[in-house]
């Protein structure tokens, strides 16, 4: 098979196309990493620390085993790449680096008045994300008005009315989003 048979004229164009597909394919890693960071309370821990934290300080604060430290480092690399944290030099003497907050991570703080933490947790809840796994099935069926109904057998509003956890999560999320939107920025 030649590249031109699939509409690609150069190796660079093929690599760009592959990169485009891979970026979309693995984009869920960014949102799931953000959810993990929120659930672990990492923005709050660093904020409460009052200065950049080393990996070992963060590992200790999270009460993680040393074996999980490498995975935490990978998680934080993803979050630095996504601009939720920055890596800053703590010591000029031994080149020690630590994690610090960005404007985006400030919006994930629990006690920040403009926090979008509740909104992020609501939008990334499995009840709301699972229907996205079934969109193609929904397109092939008649009757259900949305993929949510196809997946859960009732509308979001009916579901939330029967599930106090989802109802609270959704209401908190919408309230946090409304507070941010109401600032007028």
pLDDT tens, 48-82? 999 999 999 999 999 999 899 999 999 999 999 99
Is the domain of 40 the same as that of 64? yes
Give a yes or no: residue 3 inside a domain. no
Give a yes or no: residue 2 inside a domain. no
Say how many domains are in the chain.
2
Average pLDDT of the residues in 10-25: 89
Q: What pLDDT, in 10s, does the model give residues 18-45? A: 899 999 999 999 999 999 999 999 999 9
Is the domain of 20 the same as that of 102? yes
Question: Residue 3: what pLDDT?
Answer: 67
Closest C-alpha among 139, 137, 112, 108 to residue 124: 108
Is the domain of 149 the same as that of 123? yes
Beta-carbon contacts of residue 156 (< 8 Å; ≥ 6 apart): 128, 148, 170
Q: What pLDDT, in 10s, does the model give residues 91-128? A: 778 878 999 999 999 999 999 999 999 999 999 999 99
Inter-residue contact 9 to 67 (CB < 8 Å): no
Beta-carbon contacts of residue 75 (< 8 Å; ≥ 6 apart): 33, 36, 37
Is the domain of 14 the same as that of 68? yes
H or E element in which residue 89 lies: strand 85-89
Q: What is the mean pLDDT of the chain?
A: 93
Write down the residue that tokens 């993680």 correspond to.
Answer: 64
Distance CA 1, CA 9 (A): 13
Is the domain of 31 the same as that of 47? yes
Q: Please say which residue of 80, 107, 134 terminates a domain.
A: 107
- Domain with 179, as residue range(s), is 113-185
Q: Please say which residue of 68, 92, 107 terminates a domain.
A: 107
Q: Please say which residue of 107, 131, 151 terminates a domain.
A: 107
Q: What is the pTM of this model?
A: 0.88
The per-type count for the chain, helices as H runs and strands as E runs, is: 12, 2
Average pLDDT of the residues in 145-160: 95
């Amino acid at each position: 098979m030649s590249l031109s048979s699939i509409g690609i004229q150069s190796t660079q164009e093929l690599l760009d196309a592959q990169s485009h597909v891979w970026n979309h394919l693995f984009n869920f890693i960014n949102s799931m990493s953000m959810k993990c960071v929120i659930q672990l309370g990492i923005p709050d821990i660093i904020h409460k620390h009052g200065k950049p934290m080393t990996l070992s300080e963060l590992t200790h604060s999270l009460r993680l085993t040393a074996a999980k430290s490498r995975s935490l480092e990978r998680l934080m690399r993803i979050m630095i790449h996504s601009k939720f944290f920055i890596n800053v030099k703590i010591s000029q003497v031994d080149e020690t680096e630590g994690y610090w907050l960005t404007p985006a991570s400030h919006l994930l703080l629990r006690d920040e008045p403009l926090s979008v933490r509740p909104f992020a947790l609501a939008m990334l809840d499995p009840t709301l994300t699972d229907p996205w796994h079934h969109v193609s099935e929904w397109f092939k069926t008649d009757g259900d008005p949305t993929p949510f109904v196809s997946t859960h057998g009732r509308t979001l509003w009916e579901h939330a009315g029967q599930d106090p956890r989802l109802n609270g999560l959704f209401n908190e999320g919408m309230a946090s989003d409304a507070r941010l939107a109401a600032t007028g920025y």
